[in-house]
Amino acid sequence: MNSSSYYFSHGTIALFCGKGMDFRPKVGTLQASFNGKSEFLNLHVYPALTSIDSFRFQEHGCNVLKPSLKSRTSQSQALVVRSDHPQNSDFPKYYSKKEKKPFPVPIVDLRRAARERLKSRKGKPKTPVPPPKNGLLVKTLIPVAYDVFNARITLINNLKKLLKVVPVQACRFCNEIHVGPVGHPFKSCKGANANIRKGVHEWITNATVDDVFLPVEAFHLYDRLGRRIPHDERFSIPRIPAIVELCIQAGVDVAEYPTKRRRKPIIRISKSEFVDADESELPDTDTEGPKRPVLTEIPDSEIVAPSDEEETTLLAEETLRAWDQMRRGAKRLMKMYLVRVCGYCPEVHVGPSGHKAQNCGAFKHQQRNGQHGWQAAVLNDLIPPRYVWHVPDVNGPPMERELRNFYGQAPAVVEMCIQGGAAVPEEYRPTMRLDVGIPSTIKEAEMVV
């Protein structure tokens, strides 16, 4: 007997072939070899193996794994099943209202990085604080801020036009929407009398831009390095879209929302106290170069729908580019200009520290006296993508409730652009599950499941 393999013999066996079980006795000797260092224990030998391909092998008539008759002199060969499609990725996790949002960077890593910075700076002279912490603007990000601001206006104007030709359904009782001529049949309604209706939505066609592109507001700060907003002044300070406030702090000048611009670094007295430097010797700001123009929103009464299919496709492609440009630019701005979000509610604050307004009404807000649990925000907190079900074929049959696990999801803006004629972006293909075919009948779906 070989030391690296062991042989066992058995009598009659049954082979399982086809979609049913075919019991056909085969009289003979079965040789099954097991290597001492089995490759099946190595998880990195076949990284492309997925459960979807195993079902595809069954459709050809035989199961994937089945015993075979071999002689003593034959060598054992491992079965290799490869997949040409990547594993489907899910959309962002939904957190319950009773669950606190996780920190983008764990506290342990933040403390470790702070200790390393203290060790590296020990015994060295203090370096000047770079912008924007010293009150100045990051000059390289000023064009980016204008691009993000104009991309947002372009996105809103184009969505108003697309809503004229791309139908968007809204539920009468909850805040869920669906992009398509017919609402989806899934029982996910949590509105009024949902138990009586067994979770079935009641769709109406009155969706607006705010339903597709969710508005997130924040307090407008005249001085982003000034004192924190107290609770008593929460009604006297204007609230504007958070992405607009980020662009204003990054260098965009809007006449309706003035802000303080410093041209000299601040003089730091302590960690929480500073004074402004003397700028009387500097020239007036009017002598500087011309400012970049900013776009404005088109009123609803002046919106004109696209005339033909070609114009709709061009409009959808432009909308998709504006959506991508806005998100990419906002991500760059958030690396330099701090944005805070409450860990319990969707409140967002643009600035180095959150406000003191006690208006948090999330889970166990009584124990916190209504104060927010501020933490670093991510891009989806500032620009939340509203995910909707992806319709494989708008002109085809409606979506079926039994095939829910086979439909993918995408942001509502992206889904509207795709139904308008734009190409599917590569970054959204995994969540939309375009690489895996949808069964044509419910019977085929039951076979796969």
Q: Which pair of structure tokens corresponds to residue 340?
A: 């805070």
Q: Give me the pLDDT at residue 93, please.
A: 66
HSE on the CB side for 120, CA within 13 Å? 7
pLDDT at 10 over 90: no
Query: What is the H or E stretch that residue 234 is in?
Result: none
Which amino acid, one-letter code, is at 53? Answer: D
pLDDT at 72 over 70: no
Residues 266/274, Cβ–Cβ less than 8 Å = yes
Could you give phi then psi for residue 243, rounded to 5 degrees?
-70, -30
Once rounded to an integer, what is the mean pLDDT over residues 106-130?
A: 92
Residues 98/59, Cβ–Cβ less than 8 Å = no
Q: Give me the pLDDT at residue 252, please.
A: 96
Residue 92: cis peptide before it, omega within 30 degrees of 0: no
HSE on the CB side for 166, CA within 13 Å? 30
Q: Give me the pLDDT at residue 284, please.
A: 74
Residues 438/408, Cβ–Cβ less than 8 Å = no
- Model confidence, pTM: 0.77
Once rounded to an integer, what is the mean pLDDT over residues 68-85?
A: 42
Q: Tens of pLDDT along 178-228?
A: 999 999 999 999 999 999 999 999 999 889 999 999 999 999 999 999 999
Q: Give me the pLDDT at residue 13, please.
A: 40
| Nearest CA among 387, 397, 380 for reference residue 432 | 387
Q: Which pair of structure tokens corresponds to residue 377?
A: 């925000």
pLDDT band at 84 (very low <50, low <70, confident <90, very high): very low
pLDDT at 331 over 90: yes
Q: Tens of pLDDT along 390-438?
A: 998 898 888 999 888 888 999 999 999 999 999 999 989 888 887 767 7
CB burial of residue 181 (10 Å; 0-12, 13-18, 19+): middle
Q: Give me the pLDDT at residue 99, please.
A: 83
Q: Give me the pLDDT at residue 244, please.
A: 97
